[in-house]
């Protein structure tokens, strides 16, 4: 029975590593669209404040 336990430890470690690896390699580009829209709003606001001040 002890030999079975020693064989299960690497199996659980391999499964855990596979889960962690798939989580670490996930696709995280879903938030880029909103971030780019927010950046465009920021740039527009900065252009408005720069053009309205009169000083360069």
Write out the chain's pLDDT in tens, 56 residues: 889 989 999 999 999 999 999 999 987 766 677 788 899 999 999 998 776 555 55
User: How far is Cα 16 from Cα 48, in angstroms, rounded to an integer?
Assistant: 52
Report if pTM > 0.75.
no
User: How far is Cα 56 from Cα 47, in angstroms, rounded to an integer?
Assistant: 12
């Amino acid at each position: 029975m002890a030999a079975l336990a020693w064989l299960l430890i690497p199996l659980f470690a391999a499964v855990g590593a596979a889960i962690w690896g798939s989580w670490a390699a996930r696709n995280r580009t879903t938030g880029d669209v909103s971030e780019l829209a927010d950046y465009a709003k920021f740039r527009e606001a900065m252009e408005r404040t720069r053009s309205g001040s009169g000083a360069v």
